Amino acid sequence: MNQRSKVFKFGGASVKDAEAIRNVADILQKYRQETLMIVVSAMGKTTNALEKIVEAHAHQDGKALELLEELKLQHYRIMAELFEPDDEVYALVNDTFVEIEWVLDDEPHDNYDYMYDQIVSVGELLSTKILCAYLNNVALPSQWLDARDVVQTNELYREAWVQWQETEERFLKNAQPLLDKGGFVVTQGFIGATQENFTTTLGRDGSDYSAAIFSFCANAESMTIWKDAQGVFSADPRFFAEAKMLSEMSYDEAIAMTYYGAKIIHLKTVGPLKRKHIPLHVRSFLEPETGGTLISENEVDAYPPLLAVEVNQALLKITNKDFSFVTEQHFSEIFAAISDLRMQVTFIQNTPLTLYLCVFNQGEKVAQLAGRIQETLGTEAVTGLELINVRHATPELLGQLRSTRKVLVEQTNGATAHLVVEMS
């Protein structure tokens, strides 16, 4: 039996330019004896740039090729710093860009999300081709794996669901033999393919989840996410000066925090790791010597208050126009409309005369919802809000939050508190 593999995930910031890519190679030098699966995002802000190309193509505004040219230049500029002019990586990268040109040559596809996935997935194909070639050049033998030969999904483009059994089978067939050869295997985060081999994506920031899928299939010894932060913090340090780095966290705590909106790791990442008891390390690619955060089944004795904030919230105050109660029949009508509109509810509180719901304030959806249920109910919507979720809340922290923000509604369940507040 070969040694168990480890899975590393490197996000867009860790491969954003030539210096960053050299830094990744430096980190990997220390693991040259290990069997490593390396899952990589698109370089820097490439995914955003590709989204703009999709939009330009859909609107046929004539800008798509220009935007593509810009993206090519960015990639070639970085490559010029890393490779000799005759390196074969240039041909590989060229061929990959041609895949986008083919899509742009055609009329825009009727299914926007399908077209999106065919174009946006190219970001990860490019970054992995470049990183893999560079690692080989610096004597870190690496094989390139097309993630679409492993991750099989349904046809829900832009938000595809993994088909686990098929994915495990494809992993054994297409990835395990590469790991068995030794050295590193470099593959893409974020992307998969349908059974008919159409490219899909798993949703923005999905590379963490991809790494968890590979970890699950490989029965990995551990997974590591290399980030531009030292680890997981008790709150977003940009907004809460008191935020502390956590050296340890349980799976369940991490699942709860991502559910409540913490952007530490992609929402779906921890579940598959928990099922297979695979520890997750979150570490800094800028300070690889520091310990980072370990997320595992170990229970942690005491947590500081943990804050996760959902921004861009709207609070709906739903009342019965005749001042009678909001009843079960109303609930079923309201939630049917919410589900039809594919809205996401982040907070619910019912009081004798008012049902409070917090939702993401996306486009026209709040107005559409109000329109659908207006017959019997009055709906008032307050926008420009955020929802602060606090686990392990202390009276001091809650007092501080209340005194520095305008709180519209609040709810507490044991040591977990939810405050709907005006954006600060």
The site for ligand ASP (CB under 6 A) is made up of 11-12, 41-42, 47, 123, 189-190, 204-207
Candidates 7, 8, 9, 11; binder of Mg ion (CB under 5 A) is: 11
The least distance separating ligand ASP from the CB of residue 48, rounded to whole angstroms, comes to 7
Q: Indicate whether 261 belongs to the interface with Mg ion (CB under 5 A).
A: no
Q: CB-wise, 15 or 235, nearer to ligand ASP?
A: 15
42's contact among ligand ASP, Mg ion, none, with CB below 5 to 8 A by partner kind, is ligand ASP
Q: Up-side HSE of residue 19: CA atoms within 13 Å toward CB?
A: 1
- Picking from 263, 252, 271, the residue whose alpha carbon sits closest to that of residue 213 is 271
Q: CB-wise, 216 or 226, nearer to Mg ion?
A: 226
User: Exposed, middle or buried by CB within 10 Å (0-12, 13-18, 19+), for 45?
Assistant: middle
Residues linked to residue 417 through DSSP beta bridges, in sequence order: 390, 412
Q: CB-wise, 44 or 305, nearer to ligand ASP?
A: 44
79 CB neighbour count, 10 Å cutoff: 21
Q: Indicate whether 206 belongs to the interface with Mg ion (CB under 5 A).
A: no
What distance in Å separates the CA atoms of residue 143 and residue 173, rounded to the nearest whole number?
A: 15
What distance in Å separates the CA atoms of residue 72 and residue 68, rounded to the nearest whole number?
A: 6
The least distance separating ligand ASP from the CB of residue 190, rounded to whole angstroms, comes to 4
The least distance separating ligand ASP from the CB of residue 336, rounded to whole angstroms, comes to 31
Quick one: CA dihedral 315, 320, 326, 330, positive or negative?
negative
63's contact among ligand ASP, Mg ion, none, with CB below 5 to 8 A by partner kind, is none
The least distance separating Mg ion from the CB of residue 206, rounded to whole angstroms, comes to 9
Q: CB-wise, 121 or 346, nearer to ligand ASP?
A: 121
Q: CB-wise, 189 or 305, nearer to ligand ASP?
A: 189
What distance in Å separates the CA atoms of residue 16 and residue 78, rounded to the nearest whole number?
A: 9
Q: CB-wise, 43 or 314, nearer to ligand ASP?
A: 43
- Picking from 226, 288, 291, 174, the residue whose alpha carbon sits closest to that of residue 40 is 226
x/- site string to Mg ion, residues 19 to 48, per CB under 5 A? ----------------------x-------
The least distance separating Mg ion from the CB of residue 185, rounded to whole angstroms, comes to 20
User: Exposed, middle or buried by CB within 10 Å (0-12, 13-18, 19+), for 356?
Assistant: middle
What distance in Å separates the CA atoms of residue 289 and residue 111, rounded to the nearest whole number?
A: 46
Candidates 5, 8, 9, 12; binder of Mg ion (CB under 5 A) is: 12
Number of shown-chain residues binding Mg ion (CB under 5 A): 3
- Picking from 313, 317, 200, the residue whose alpha carbon sits closest to that of residue 261 is 313
Position with the least CB separation from ligand ASP = 207
What distance in Å separates the CA atoms of residue 205 and residue 208, rounded to the nearest whole number?
A: 7
109's contact among Mg ion, ligand ASP, none, with CB below 5 to 8 A by partner kind, is none
Q: Indicate whether 189 belongs to the interface with Mg ion (CB under 5 A).
A: no
Q: Which residues are near Mg ion by CB under 5 A?
A: 11-12, 41
